[in-house]
Structure 1
Amino acid sequence: MTDDAAGAEGVLSRAARMLRAFGADDDSLSAADLGHRTGLPRSTAHRLAAELAGLGLLDRTADGGFTIGTGLWEMGELAPVSMRLREHALPHVLRLYEASGENVHIAVLSSPDPATAEALYVARVTGPNSIPTLSRMGGRHPLHTTGVGKALLAQQEDDWLDAFFQRTFERETVYSIVDVVPLRDEIAHARARGFATTRQEMTLGNVSIAAALPAIDGLPLAAVGVVTHLARADERRLGPLVVAAARDIARDLARD
């Protein structure tokens, strides 16, 4: 991107691109890294990074690089998914972990737009006997290959789903369901029994079982789920547990 093009772009848009340039595997990024990832000239990237650091949105490292700032984290903790959803959900998530011994997480719909929506993970509890998963706090995964994602899809109106199914779905594993008819059948099944499942559709050997919360004013659609190994995936036991957790979280949020 040229200096003229960078100047024509709004400063907020450039700053947002700088902040979103960071990934989960980045300990820090240099101004040159930020310029490369955003397409901004190095001088512009360095100036913006310095300004963002001055505002606490980025932090400087000893070697002159930049990391996501604690000031940005502080502001993020004021979001309703933290202040309301996660705080009310955590006691129930912990109880679900104690009852299941498996990974437990909360995910929300990342966007109301069916063309771009994903499952955004906002809470997670794991333990020494839990199976490794790809999910992390603040991470995103596809709706069609995750238990929480299918649970969120089961909450949508048919018009929204019609738009969603215009997308092209990537196959995360050989077991991923990417065709519209079987995906619709999966959603119908989830609606009928009250919880959704995926079997090795996101990660080989893993099974996810999840239930959605009813819509709550001021919050995106949310779902709670467990991830277990295929060899110990007892849906008859875990299904009612996640349904009860979703119900109890929704009850507490309704009292707020």
Structure 2
Amino acid sequence: MAGAGILDRALAVLGCFSEDEPELTAARLAERTGLPASTLHRLLGTLLDRGLLVRTPGHRYAVGSRLWELGERSPLALRLREPAIPHLVRLYEATGENVHLGVLDGEPECATVLQVGRVTGQRAIPTLSRAGGRDPLHATGVGRALLATRDAAWLGRYFTTTRERETVHTIVDERALRADLDRTRARGYALTREEMTLGNISVAAALPPIPGLPAAALGLVVHIDRADERKLAALVQQSARELFAAVREG
């Protein structure tokens, strides 16, 4: 990271942590960032002092509560997730299934779904998604709904990159995916069948554009054996309309 400023170095360190590795040693951080030991030591001290990192047992580090505090001031939290919570809960109560709220994040060539809200319970099936996590656009219901909102120029850039096949059912071919986006626009909701996880389907609907916020979509993940597409789609579309109205009025 030669020539990188302190902010770039700090972000490089913070970016090393993941859901699978929420705690890391200094040696592991040095290996991942390539920073000299002396530079990393000083940087870790600063991040600890500012509450951006905390020490954990075993001479490890983890993301500090200060980052969570700052993140809660984001428009995604204040203007979207907070007003969305009652709507997510009502949709869960009506279905008993996993409810996800995601936004489009990143330039077209590397864009993903950033999950900003999730409600689940004992009846719902396990899923890979979590609040604060990222999922591919092409393989998820929320992602497909978001893709269907993009214009030709945006999609032209998006399709310059390859898409990973998450399961044997994942649509990765450009022509097939474009055709599915046409169907999504025509019916008003996205539907993916076992494209992210085998045995699951996802039904999702995008919210209309909201000034000052990225494109957002609301979706359900349901086991394929108990999925009633039309019923679920109607519930998701209604929830998306009600959430949009609540955010716009707020």
Using the size of structure 2 for normalisation, the TM-score is 0.97
2:91: which partner in 1? 96
2: CA distance, partners of 1:218 / 1:155: 16
1:147 maps to a residue whose letter is: G
Q: Matched residue of 2:59: which SS?
A: coil
Task: Work out whether 1:181 is the aligned partner of 2:148.
Answer: no
2:14: which partner in 1? 19
CA-atom RMSD, angstroms? 1.0
Identify if the C-alpha distance between structure 1 residues 156 and 27 changes in structure 2 by more than 3 Å, giving closer, same or farther. Answer: closer
* Deviation (angstroms), 1:42: 2.6
| The one of 39, 45, 68 aligned to 1:44 | 39
Contact persistence 1:104–1:124 (CA under 8 A): yes
1:159: which partner in 2? 153
* Deviation (angstroms), 1:254: 0.8
Contact persistence 2:92–2:98 (CA under 8 A): yes
2:102: which partner in 1? 107
1:222-237 superposed matches below 5 A: 222-237=216-231
2:128: which partner in 1? 134
2: CA distance, partners of 1:138 / 1:39: 26
1:20-99 superposed matches below 5 A: 20-99=15-94
* Deviation (angstroms), 1:232: 1.0
* Segments of 4+ moved more than 3 angstroms: none
1: CA distance, partners of 2:41 / 2:169: 45
Name which of structure 1's ranges 52-61 and 140-149 shifts more when overlaid on structure 2: 52-61
1: CA distance, partners of 2:247 / 2:62: 34
Identity %: 54
Query: How many residue pairs end up in the alignment?
Result: 250
Contact persistence 1:105–1:123 (CA under 8 A): yes
* Deviation (angstroms), 1:33: 1.1
* Deviation (angstroms), 1:224: 0.4
Contact persistence 1:32–1:46 (CA under 8 A): no
Contact persistence 2:22–2:63 (CA under 8 A): no
* Deviation (angstroms), 1:41: 2.0
1: CA distance, partners of 2:28 / 2:20: 14
Q: Deviations over 1:145-166 (max 9, x none)?
A: 0000000011111111111111
Structure 2 residue runs of 5 or longer lacking an equivalent are none
1:168-207 superposed matches below 5 A: 168-207=162-201
Q: Matched residue of 2:191: which SS?
A: strand
Q: Deviations over 1:207-228 (max 9, x none)?
A: 0000000110111110000000
Structure 1 residue runs of 5 or longer lacking an equivalent are none
2: CA distance, partners of 1:16 / 1:29: 15
1: CA distance, partners of 2:37 / 2:216: 40
* Deviation (angstroms), 1:57: 0.7
2: CA distance, partners of 1:224 / 1:252: 14
Name which of structure 1's ranges 44-53 and 165-174 shifts more when overlaid on structure 2: 44-53
Using the size of structure 1 for normalisation, the TM-score is 0.95
* Deviation (angstroms), 1:74: 0.3
Contact persistence 1:32–1:45 (CA under 8 A): no
2: CA distance, partners of 1:233 / 1:163: 34
| The one of 224, 228, 239 aligned to 1:245 | 239
Q: Matched residue of 1:29: which SS?
A: strand
